[in-house]
Amino acid sequence: MTSVPCVGSGILTNPTDKTVPTPMPQNSSRRIKAPQKPDKEALHPAYVLHSRNYRETSLIVEFFTEEYGRVSAVLRGARGKKNAGKSRSKPSTGQIAQPFSPVLISWFGNGSLKTIKKIEPAATGFALKANRLFSGFYINELLTRLITAQDPHPNLYQQYQTLLLELAGTNDLEPLLRNFEILLLKEIGYGLNFQLANGEEFEPDQNYHFDQQHGFSLSKFQQGSQPRIDTFNGAMLIAIHHNDYSKPETCKAAKRLTRLALQPHLGSKPLKSRELFVSPN
C-alpha cells in the first residue's frame, strides 16, 4: 500500500474498506455530531468544492473540511476590478477558491452561511483534465448535495483526498467513482448491505432485486426474459463487494446500482455534472 503526505491530515493511504454496513431506511436517524465552534483565528485545512457569484464582488464557496464537514461561506471581494489588478505573484482570493484546491481557511458567523476571515493556499491544486475533470466535478456535486452542513466526516475527507490523487493519475475511472459513491452512501447513513435481509450470502447463479429501503432480495426474474433495472446478477454483486471491476459488465452493474441507491437522496433535480461526460456517469 502506497502512502503519500496530505494537507492537514498526516499520512494518506489508499484503503479498501470492506466493512459491511447495515441498510437503513430513507428516514435515517443517523445523529449529526455538531462540532465545537471553531476559533475564528485558527486556520483549518479544507478543499474547495464549488463557488458561485454573490452580489457584485463576492463568492459563495462550498468548502469540505475534515473537522467541520461542509462549510458554506461568503468570500468577500473575490471578484471585480480590485482583484484583477493584484500582483501575479500573489493570487487573489478568487483564484485561490478553485475546485480541487487544498486551502487553509478561518471563518466566523452564527448562521448557516459563514463569512471567510482568511484563506490561503495550502498546496498546489489538482490539475484534472477531460473526463477526470468531469469526474471531479461529479464527486464535488455529490458532496455538496448530500453532505449536511457542518456534519463532520473525517473518513470521507481522507478518502476524498485519495480520490483526487487517483483522478490525477491513470487508474480506471469506474472503480474510483463507484467505490467513492458506496462509501458516501455509508457515511450519510444509507450504506449498501451486500447480503440478503436474512443474512444469507449471494449465490453467483441467482438474480437479486434491489430496493432502496429494504436492500436485496431474491428476484423472480427468469433467465431469458427482459431484466429489470433493479435486478442484479449474484456474481456481479459479489464482484462489486470485493472491489473486482475486471469485467465490463460488473462496472455497468455497479453504476446502475449506485444510481438507484443515490437517487432518493438527490431528489428530482438532475446533477449538472453528468451532462459533461462523453460517456455519462
Residues 160 and 192 placed together within one structural domain of the fold: yes
Per-residue model confidence as pLDDT tens digits over 159-195: 999 999 999 999 999 999 999 999 999 999 999 999 9
Per-residue model confidence as pLDDT tens digits over 210-250: 998 889 999 886 665 556 899 999 999 999 999 999 999 99
Residues 174 and 279 placed together within one structural domain of the fold: yes
Q: Considering 125, 149, 184, which residue would you say is the last residue of a domain?
A: 125
Residue 153: per-residue pLDDT: 96
Percent of the chain with pLDDT over 70: 78
Residue 29 has pLDDT above 90, yes or no: no
Residues 133 and 113 placed together within one structural domain of the fold: no
Residues 251 and 136 placed together within one structural domain of the fold: yes
Q: Which domain holds residue 59?
A: 36-125
For residue 208, list its beta bridge partners: 218, 232
Residues 173 and 233 placed together within one structural domain of the fold: yes
Residues 63 and 135 placed together within one structural domain of the fold: no
Q: How many separate domains does the chain show?
A: 2
Residues 155 and 120 placed together within one structural domain of the fold: no
- Contacts of residue 170, defined as CB under 8 A and 6 or more positions apart, other chains included, come to none
CATH (domain of 190): 1.20.1440.120
Residue 33: per-residue pLDDT: 56
Give the residue among 171, 183, 202 at the shortest CA–CA distance from 262. Answer: 183
Please name the residue ranges forming H helices in 126-270: 130-146, 154-167, 173-187, 234-241, 248-266
Residues 220 and 105 placed together within one structural domain of the fold: no
Q: Considering 93, 125, 157, which residue would you say is the last residue of a domain?
A: 125
